[in-house]
Amino acid sequence: MTDTKLAGLVTFIYLGAFFFYLAALLRGTRPWATAAAWLARGGFLLHSASLLLRWRLSFALGFGHPPLSNFYESLVFFSWSIVFVHLIVETRSKTSSLGVFLIPLAFLVLAYAGISPTADGRIQPLIPALQSDWLTIHVLTCFLGYAFFSASFALGLLILMKGQEGSGGLKKSLAAMIPAPRALEELLFQTAFMGLVFLGLGILTGAVWAHYAWGSYWSWDPKETWSLITWLIFALLLHLRRLRGWEGRRLAWLAVLGFAAVLFTYLGVNYLPSLHSYL
């Protein structure tokens, strides 16, 4: 089986896992959540295998670069990163409700990789600008940052849902599957912090790489600029949470705004003249 076919199989596994997570939330029963978690873990293992297989095929073709070099590969890795972060948060927090938002996000990203006309699934040699040892660490840290911010976004949505409890907008069985607001806010803070660390490393390594590739650490390229904007939004979130005591809906909506910035940083700037248009 080729890596693209394996990724296609994983896409449907994630879709199935989403329905199990949704059933767990709506029915308020743990067996559905347990089944969803195991399905997500199985999909994640196959997803990892597809990346490793693609890397191996790259070596067989004489290229040898990790699968992080074009739009298709970035989508596949972004989806992998989202599930990776989801499994970490789910294991540490003992809550399955996050899967209702993160797993379908991973599904949509991976599905888009398979159907988008701009996502070429062929393994190709690196373009000159990407022929650097900085490629792996820069892309890996950036996308892990994006994934942690995606988790913050999902937690923000859960906070907004939990806020409907007691007002007739949320059933008791459904509310019981969602952690208390304070627990959600603390998880949001933690994931936003990790996102800041990883995206910050991505920005720093990108600056060093840019110096060697283009002769300047910072050129206000749209991708650079929006990466910084995204980082600053989540830095503001941490500041307002820790020093100003922001909580509840205000914190949640700021996480949603931050995720919108993530999407524009990753996808939106591709429609602007940019040195990073290949990603």
pLDDT at residue 19 in the model = 95
Amino acid at 223: K
The answer to whether residue 147 scores a pLDDT higher than 70 is yes
pLDDT of residue 55: 93
Q: Which long-range CB contacts under 8 A does 90-94 form with residues at least 24 apart? A: 90/37, 93/179, 93/183, 93/187
Burial of 75 (0-12, 13-18, 19+ CB in 10 A): buried
CA neighbours within 13 Å on the CB side: how many for 229? 18
Give residue-wise pLDDT tens across range 157-168: 999 988 665 555
Which residues, including other chains, have CB under 8 Å from residue 254's CB and lie 6 or more apart?
156, 233, 236, 237, 240, 246
Question: In this predicted model, what pLDDT tens digit does every residue of 61-87 receive, in sequence order?
Answer: 888 889 988 899 999 999 999 999 999
User: Given CA atoms 182, 35, 144, 78 in this order, what sign does their dihedral have?
Assistant: negative
Where along the chain do its domains lie? 3-271
Residue pLDDT, tens place only, 5-49: 999 999 999 999 999 999 988 887 778 889 999 999 999 999 999
The residue among 270 and 57 whose pLDDT is bigger is: 57
Determine the Cα–Cα distance for residues 209 and 130; give it in Å rounded to an integer.
10
Q: Of the candidates 8, 19, 191, 9, which has an alpha carbon nearest to the alpha carbon of residue 103?
A: 19
Residue type, 150: S
- Measured CA to CA, the distance from residue 90 to residue 189 in angstroms comes to 15
Q: What percent of the chain has pLDDT over 90?
A: 57
pLDDT at 37: 94
Query: How confident is the prediction for the chain on average, in pLDDT?
Result: 88
Answer whether 148's CB lies under 8 Å from 194's CB.
Answer: yes
- Beta pairing partners, 182: none
Give the dihedral of Cα atoms 158, 18, 51, 213; nearest 10 deg. -30
Q: Give CA–CA dist 58/60, Å, rounded.
A: 5
Report the alpha-carbon angle 54-110-71, nearest 5.
65
| Beta-carbon contacts of residue 5 (< 8 Å; ≥ 6 apart) | none
